[in-house]
Amino acid sequence: MRLPSRTDYAIRASIELAANATEHPLTVAAIAKSQRIPVRYLGAIMTQLRKAGIVVARRGPDGGYELARPANKVMLADVIRAVDGALTEVGGARPENLRYQGSAAGLAQVWIAIRAAERQVLDQVSLAHVVSGKLPKSVKTLLLSPSAK
C-alpha cells in the first residue's frame, strides 16, 4: 500500500485532534507544529476533512478544528477516503469496472482482493484505537503474522 504524504498528514492531523485532551479546538498551526506538517499544506487538508464531515471548524479567537464525531466513530478509511478518494483504484477506475484481456483477465480479482484486505484493517481501526494503542484483535492477529515482517 502506498499513501501519499497528503493522506499521511490527514491521518496524523485527525489523530492529533482525537488525542486533544483540552476542551478547546486546535489551530492548524498547533496541529502542524505537533505533527511536523507544513502549515500551508495542512490548511488545504483540513478543508477537505471539513467538507467530508470528519472535522468541524470553529471561528473566533478560540477557534480551530475539532473532530465532527467521537474518535471511536472515525475510522482510518474515512480519513483516507476524504482526502484520497476510493481505497483501491487502478488508473482512476474501481477494480470491479476493469476489463483485462487474455492472460491478464484475472487481474481485476487481485485488485478486488487487495481492496478487501485494506478494508479489513482500515474500516476497523478508529482514531481512538490509534490514540489508545489498543488495536482491534483482528489487526493484532495480522501484526503477529509472519507476512507482516
Distances in Å between the alpha carbon of 115 and those of 73, 108, 131?
A: 21, 11, 25
Q: Give the residue numbers spanning the domain of 97.
A: 5-148
- Read off the pLDDT of residues 123-132 as tens digits, 9 standing for 90 and up: 999 999 999 9
The CATH code of the domain that includes 44 is 1.10.10.10
- Write b or e for each residue in 22-50: b if 16 or more Cβ atoms lie within 10 A of its Cβ, otherwise e: eeebbbbebbbeeeebeeeebeebbebbe
Q: Quote the number of domains for the chain.
A: 1
Strand partners, 45: none
Distances in Å between the alpha carbon of 103 and those of 59, 89, 106, 107, 108?
A: 57, 21, 8, 9, 12
Residue with cell 467538507: 51
Residue 81 contacts by C-beta under 8 Å, 6 or more apart in sequence?
A: 52, 87
Mean pLDDT over 30-58 rounds to 95
Quick one: which H or E segment has residue 10?
A: helix 5-19
Task: Tell me whether residue 135 is exposed, middle or buried, using C-beta atoms within 10 angstroms of its C-beta: 0 to 12, 13 to 18, 19 or more.
Answer: middle
Q: Please report the pLDDT score of residue 68 as a whole number.
A: 96
Mean pLDDT over 57-78 rounds to 93
- Read off the pLDDT of residues 86-99 as tens digits, 9 standing for 90 and up: 777 777 778 888 88
Average pLDDT, the chain: 91
Q: Please report the pLDDT score of residue 81 as a whole number.
A: 93
* Single-letter residue type at 126: S
What is the band of 33 on the pLDDT scale with cuts at 50, 70, 90?
A: very high
